[in-house]
């Protein structure tokens, strides 16, 4: 049997009409990629669809199976299915899931947790909505302690985090035309010891807390955003950078320097990658904010893994880490609590899987 099937071939395999197959595709019950007037379907996808039944998947909700092919599933991990599919996404609170993952499993962890008091994700008791800054730091340190447990002894942890400012006593924030995702139903109070308009060094507070908890802090990478979001402030500079902190579990660890080397400006030879990365943000049609850029994730995975290794993202969001993992022939587990993000990640994953299928064919 061929690896890639047409709609007609899929219909023959399933014993149904081509119209019925197109209906499965239209209802997002059968993954495919558009090719001219036809659709191409991976044979492994078709067999999984046939074996698991043809029940229509309804509106996703927390801790529920969200898609066929065992990619989106309940709050439990199946390593066999992760190895077979190359991607698995668990819908649930990472605080309740990560402590159930096996020790020394993932070669690399790449993630960007919710920032403190920056965005309302519409989830009850969400991380980032803590009224106290220290509680936010403690919550993440506890999660990242579990990350260290599930990381292989030679593994690395890449953490993207940004700073923020005190709210100045404001209790909520409205959306604006430039950034609809800016709206918030709450604003945390000014932390004790800080003043109105103070820059809160959340990124470094978290990095130092992780170091104190046992992590080796190896690099502070500046993510410079050339197309950064404009700000209407008049008494300070517009912020166009965030941090990516590189941590390791052990003193000696896997790091593929050669995989991420940069060319010299004259084009003659290559050099070690520098710690300032100029990478544009990436818009997302389904969301009112920029998503984790692929070019930010790619060097982390290339430096931290070999092909076939397992990657973890405990704050999966719109699915960039999983997408890059698939593109680089790595396997990825994501954990995400927000149903809307699950839907976005599923659409983005379908698109990249379709591109990979076309490349294979």
Give pLDDT tens digits for 109-154: 999 999 987 777 667 788 888 889 999 999 999 999 999 999 999 9
Instruction: Count the helices and strands in the chain (H runs, E runs).
Output: 10, 16
- Residue 258 carries which DSSP code? G
Q: Tokens 């396997």 map to which residue?
A: 331
In the chain, what percentage of residues exceed pLDDT 70? 81
Residue 297: Cβ-neighbour burial (10 angstroms; 0-12, 13-18, 19+): buried
Least confident of 186-195, 245-254, 283-292: 283-292
**Please, which residues have CB within 8 angstroms of residue 24's CB and are 6 or more apart in sequence?**
30, 49, 54
The per-residue pLDDT for 218 is 98
pTM: 0.76
Rounded CA-CA distance 311/333 in Å is 6
The per-residue pLDDT for 8 is 85
Q: Tokens 């990619």 map to which residue?
A: 71
Give pLDDT tens digits for 213-269: 999 999 999 999 999 988 889 999 999 999 999 999 999 999 999 999 999 988 889
Whether the per-residue pLDDT at 358 is higher than 50: the answer is no
- Strands (E) across 70-191 are located at 72-73, 87-91, 106-111, 151-161, 164-165
**Please, which residues have CB within 8 angstroms of residue 92's CB and are 6 or more apart in sequence?**
62, 63, 74, 75, 335, 337
The per-residue pLDDT for 55 is 41
Give pLDDT tens digits for 145-180: 999 999 999 999 999 999 988 876 555 444 455 555
Rounded CA-CA distance 334/13 in Å is 32
Q: How far is CA 157 from CA 103, 182, 198, 257, 336, in A?
A: 15, 28, 29, 16, 18
The pLDDT-based confidence of 16 (bands split at 50, 70, 90) is confident
Domains in the chain (CATH in brackets) are 1-56 (1.10.1660), 61-349 (3.40.50.150)
Rounded CA-CA distance 4/43 in Å is 6
Give pLDDT tens digits for 66-78: 344 456 655 567 7
In the chain, what percentage of residues exceed pLDDT 90? 50
Rounded CA-CA distance 224/277 in Å is 6
């Amino acid at each position: 049997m061929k690896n890639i099937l047409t709609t007609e071939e899929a219909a023959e395999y399933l014993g149904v009409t081509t119209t019925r197959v197109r209906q499965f595709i239209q209802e997002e019950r059968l993954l495919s990629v558009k090719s001219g007037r036809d659709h191409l379907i991976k044979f492994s996808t078709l067999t999984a669809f046939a074996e698991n039944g043809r029940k229509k998947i309804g509106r996703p909700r927390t801790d529920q199976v969200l898609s066929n092919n065992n990619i989106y599933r309940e709050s439990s991990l199946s390593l066999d299915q992760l190895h077979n599919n190359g991607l698995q996404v668990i819908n649930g609170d990472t605080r309740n899931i990560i402590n159930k993952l096996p020790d020394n499993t993932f070669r690399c962890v790449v993630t960007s947790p919710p920032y403190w008091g920056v965005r309302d994700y519409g989830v009850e008791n969400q991380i980032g909505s803590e009224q106290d800054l220290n509680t936010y730091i403690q919550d993440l340190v506890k999660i990242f302690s579990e990350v260290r447990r599930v990381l292989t002894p030679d593994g690395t942890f890449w953490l993207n985090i940004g700073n923020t400012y005190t709210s100045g006593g404001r209790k909520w924030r409205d959306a604006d035309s430039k950034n609809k995702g800016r709206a918030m139903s709450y604003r945390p109070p000014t932390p004790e010891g800080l003043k109105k308009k103070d820059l809160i060094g959340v990124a470094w507070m978290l990095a130092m807390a992780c170091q104190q908890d046992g992590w080796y802090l190896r690099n502070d990478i500046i993510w410079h955003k050339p197309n950064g979001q404009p700000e209407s402030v008049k008494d300070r500079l517009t912020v166009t950078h965030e941090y990516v902190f590189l941590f390791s579990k052990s003193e000696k660890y896997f790091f593929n320097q050669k995989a991420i080397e940069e060319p010299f400006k004259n084009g003659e030879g290559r050099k070690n990658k520098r710690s300032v990365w100029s990478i544009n943000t990436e818009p997302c049609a389904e969301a009112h904010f920029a998503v984790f850029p692929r070019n930010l994730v790619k060097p982390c995975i290339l430096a931290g893994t070999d092909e076939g290794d397992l990657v973890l993202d405990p704050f999966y969001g719109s699915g960039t880490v999983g997408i890059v993992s698939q593109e680089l022939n790595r396997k990825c587990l994501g954990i995400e609590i927000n149903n809307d993000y699950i839907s976005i990640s599923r659409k983005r994953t379908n698109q990249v899987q379709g591109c990979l299928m076309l490349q294979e064919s």
